[in-house]
Amino acid sequence: MQTVGRFAPSPSGRIHLGNILCCLLAWLSARQKGGRVVLRIEDLDTARCPRRYADQMEEDLRWLGLDWDEGPSVGGPDGPYYQSQRTALYQAALEKLEARGLVYPCFCTRAELHAASAPHRGDGQVVYAGTCRGLTAAEAAERAKRRAPALRLVTPDAAWGFTDGHMGPYAENLARDCGDFLLRRSDGMFAYQLAVVVDDAAMGVTEVVRGADLLDSTPRQLYLYRLLGLTAPAFIHFPLLLAPDGRRLSKRDADAGLDSLRDRLTAAEVLGRLAYLAGFNPAAEPRTAEALLADFRWDRVPKEDIRIPAGLFA
């Protein structure tokens, strides 16, 4: 079976070194196996992800020499490639889950959620306490007159695990460690967890490469694959890049953004230095994406977070 990898960036700003490493690894991992690459724009949050950022992102990826076979601009059989244009598919998946009696409306406010819930271990979200799970249909209808509900999925009290292609075995008890999670927000926006599963399956993705900050989303996604009767891809999570002072890299780190990097460096310099940090370029020398195919191996990539030495991208 041919490998199908993907880039799935959220265009809420200019891409930074962490996003670039993600696209580089996804590209190398797929291309080295003779695979295809899909670009999908994860712009569910349309207010934060205006189209001009998505267009800029495509231009930046081209500048880096990371190409794709299916996606915006090039087209393909599984489009549209903007999540904001795929809500009918998410709605259909939601209805399947509803038909199985696994979805319920949640009327909790943000303040109520934080008061009643324990923090989730990884992603800053909370483990939902199940407050609205027991509402009767009449109670829910009464509350819906005053407040539009979010929709949550009932999670089982069971370990849900998998073997990550880089990080090894990982499991969570979905009810205890994660809780009934959101499928749709109260403003109608579909949740990332649902959209990413529907799209990766619909686009025939066989290999998901992404940062370790999403490792603990994977059990939730695998549960959705199971419930929806979809075939799950292989998952490969790689360590996060940290700023020189040890903080997690964010869109606020101006020096790490591609706008400022493009002023100072060539694409091969950016990629060569990133590949050096990630263990598959022997020195911080310029290398094109194509040239890196020869040296890339997952077992050279570290498993711990990678701190960017001060001045490396100066």
Residues assigned a catalytic role: 251
State how far the Cα of 79 lies from the Cα of 28, in Å rounded to an integer: 23
Out of 86, 166, 184, 210, the only residue in the binding site for ligand GLU (CB under 6 A) is 210
- Asked if 193 interacts with ligand GLU (CB under 6 A), we say no
Residues with Cβ within 8 Å of 102's Cβ and at least 6 positions away in sequence, in order, are 153, 154, 227
- Asked if 42 interacts with ligand GLU (CB under 6 A), we say yes
Q: Looking at 5-13, 30-38, 160-168, 261-269, which segment touches ligand GLU (CB under 6 A)? A: 5-13
Residue 211 C-beta: closest distance to ligand GLU, Å: 7
Out of 214, 240, 265, 291, the only residue in the binding site for ligand GLU (CB under 6 A) is 214
Angle among Cα 9, 13, 15 to the nearest 5 degrees reads 55
What letter does residue 119 receive in the DSSP assignment? Answer: E
What letter does residue 299 receive in the DSSP assignment? Answer: G
- Asked if 172 interacts with ligand GLU (CB under 6 A), we say no
Residues with Cβ within 8 Å of 307's Cβ and at least 6 positions away in sequence, in order, are 241, 242, 243, 244, 246
Residue 215 C-beta: closest distance to ligand GLU, Å: 11
Burial class (CB in 10 A: 0-12, 13-18, 19+), 245: exposed
Residue 223 C-beta: closest distance to ligand GLU, Å: 15
- Asked if 8 interacts with ligand GLU (CB under 6 A), we say yes
Residue 147 C-beta: closest distance to ligand GLU, Å: 29
- Asked if 58 interacts with ligand GLU (CB under 6 A), we say no
Q: Distances in Å between the alpha carbon of 173 and those of 123, 127, 130, 192, 193? A: 15, 11, 15, 20, 17
Angle among Cα 239, 124, 169 to the nearest 5 degrees reads 45
Tokens of 263: 């002023």
Task: Between 9 and 149, name the residue whose CB sits nearer to ligand GLU.
Answer: 9
Out of 3, 4, 5, 9, the only residue in the binding site for ligand GLU (CB under 6 A) is 9
Task: Between 9 and 272, name the residue whose CB sits nearer to ligand GLU.
Answer: 9
Task: Between 149 and 211, name the residue whose CB sits nearer to ligand GLU.
Answer: 211
Find, among 77, 101, 103, the residue nearest to 90 by Cα: 103
Between 112 and 151, how does the x/- string for binding to ligand GLU read (CB under 6 A)? ----------------------------------------
**Which residues of the chain form contacts with ligand GLU (CB under 6 A)?**
8-10, 42, 196, 210, 214
